[in-house]
Amino acid sequence: MEPNVPKIESLVRQLLVELGEDPKREGLLKTPLRVAQALSFLTHGYRTDPQEVINQALFTQVTSSMVIVKDIELYSLCEHHMLPFFGRCHIGYIPNGKVFGVSKLARLVDVYARRLQLQERLTEQISQAVMDSIDARGVGVMIEARHLCMMMRGVEKQNSVMLTSSVLGAFREQLATREEFLALLGR
């Protein structure tokens, strides 16, 4: 279901008034619509099916080599303050007869990042989706992100970076596999 942009626009207009602003002043005239459209875009992951994003871009490939895609940019909104967090996602997997078209992993990250999120949940959702989509032998996902809710307000710590990881299958069960993944990420 698509967001009701006119209703969101009206609510943003009310919010501006409650914050002590005049939504009729020149600089704010179109702000409610812009905010409504931005929120619709920033949450389009709710309306996107991960399997449609993968869109049959799975290819037969017999290999036991680890596949890694590093530094996938991500932008999301924390569910506690609706402020952005942003960073990089690194995905590694060991195929089980199928591999992803490389751009599909970046698109998969966006599906889950474009929702109100917790970084911990986001990391787990991505790893589980990779695992389930190709029945991988193992998956490792690491996200490094900066949270504006911690930088702009609250403790106001500008240099803090949150790291989360989720390891499944061989990445969880075999220390050597997990260490290889971390070494290839430069950790």
Contacts of 97 (CB under 8 A, 6+ apart): 60, 61, 62, 134, 135
In the CATH hierarchy, which top-level class contains the domain 52-184? alpha beta
- pLDDT class for 183, splitting at 50, 70, 90? very high
Kind of pairing, strands 116-117 and 58-61?
A: unpaired
CA 135 to each of CA 123, 132, 139, 163: distance values in angstroms, whole numbers, following the listed order: 18, 5, 10, 26
Average pLDDT over residues 84-101: 96
pLDDT digits over 49-82, tens only?
999 998 878 899 888 899 999 999 999 999 999 9
* Total residues belonging to the chain: 187
Residue boundaries of the structural domains of the chain: 5-42, 52-184
pTM score, whole prediction: 0.94
pLDDT digits over 149-181, tens only?
999 999 999 999 999 999 999 999 999 999 999
In the CATH scheme, what is the code of domain 5-42?
1.10.286.10
